Amino acid sequence: MTRRAAPEASRPAEPPSVPRPRSAEEIARAQKLRLKRTYLGVATHVGGTLIVLSYFAAGLLDLRHLLHYLLGITLVCGAFVGLILSNLNLRFRDPSMTAAQVIVTMWPATYVMYFVTLPQGRTPFMLMGVVGVLFGVFALNFRRMLMVCAVVFLTYTGVVMAIARAAPERVDVRVEAVSACAFAVVMVLITYIGSYMAALRRTVRDRNARLQEANRRLEEAMEELRELATRDHLTRLPNRRSALEHLAQRTSGPPQAPAPGARVCVALLDIDHFKRVNDLYGHHVGDLVLRHASRALQEALHTGEFVGRYGGEEFLLILSATGAASVQAAAQRIRAALAEVRAEGLPETHRLSASLGVTFYSPGESLEATLERTDRALYRAKQGGRDRAVLDEGVSAGGWVALA
């Protein structure tokens, strides 16, 4: 008998995705966009105000009702702008307050529409209502667009019914019925088209968000690749290639010495008898020693100096020194830092020591020649008993100086 597949209900439900917290910069950018849209809505109400003023100029509206409208529309628009400027809108479920702005800002116009004496005078307010509903395209889905359109339509029909009851002579039932039917059709069409456009905007926004996330991950991957290409995986110091590139930059162009009279000084450091550490205590301890030694070298360097892993237990250092005395001080500083290195698995009595070969870069000399002289100086330090530094004073001097 074949085993039946487990029903979907018995499978563990996937945990809901937790939205990523928005940064202060993202919130500020969203608030700026909401304020811009609100100002655009205020501009449309300026157009509505011009219509009301034209009614007053034509004698279709008295001064008292005009002043009531101006006060009402100013207070309403100012309230929405103030909520955004004070960030109080962020406490609402819909921080853009799109539906509220469409509905509330039409109330002053509805008030005026009730007092306009000619029935034909109500038509411009229907058109302004359509313009206001179009702002729902920015944020509303189909259901909310339908709700806003229904409120606008019911408000219009409510005003007409109130006029019919208070002053029946101002209402032609047949004309008003046709107008209401046409208005309803327009509202439905706006709901459909507006929700479709809003869905397109959401799709574009989601795709942009996914694209930004993909770009962020790509940048992180590229940064990781750069790290892998330029950093030693064990010590996290610049690797041999990166160290040589850094040396090439330091020796090309004008001197980059931090102190007057300082010259670019190249050193190769080799940890003495490191093979014994691996043989006696294991490669794991050897790796720990290299990590701690790398950190000690970084901390021992002065501003403008550099250290990178050259290979194995060898390190390339770029120092700034003026002569043998300053090179000796730098070598003692570095060797003293290594002597303090401790690592898990390494006996307390074990002290790290290092041999250094040091030379000054001679302008015009190839890096290969400089490194070759540095390597010979390191060989002399090892041959001289290790735990010391040997300085090659340069091509012009041609001498060797043993630095204890």
**Catalytically annotated residues:** 313
The token pair that represents 285 in the structure block: 């301890």
Nearest to 85 by CA among 95, 72, 74: 95
| Pairwise CA distance, residues 133 & 130, whole Å | 5
Q: For tokens 């670019």, what's the residue?
A: 264
Name the strand (E) or helix (H) holding 171: none
What order do you get walking across the sheet with 314-321 strand by strand? Answer: 306-311, 314-321, 263-271, 354-360, 389-392, 400-403
Count of CA atoms in the C-beta half-sphere (13 A) of 25: 0
| Pairwise CA distance, residues 372 & 335, whole Å | 22
Quickly list H helices, 2-122: 24-57, 63-85, 98-104, 107-115
| Pairwise CA distance, residues 103 & 148, whole Å | 7
247 neighbors 367 (Cβ within 8 angstroms): yes
Quickly list H helices, 96-141: 98-104, 107-115, 123-134
Radius of gyration, CA atoms only, the chain: 40
| Pairwise CA distance, residues 188 & 294, whole Å | 72
Count of CA atoms in the C-beta half-sphere (13 A) of 225: 6
132 neighbors 102 (Cβ within 8 angstroms): yes
| Pairwise CA distance, residues 13 & 7, whole Å | 12
| Pairwise CA distance, residues 77 & 223, whole Å | 48
| Pairwise CA distance, residues 57 & 93, whole Å | 42
Q: Which residues contact 336 (CB under 8 A, 6 or more apart)?
A: 300
Sequence letter at residue 356: L
DSSP string, 166-214: H-GGG--HHHHHHHHHHHHHHHHHHHHHHHHHHHHHHHHHHHHHHHHHH
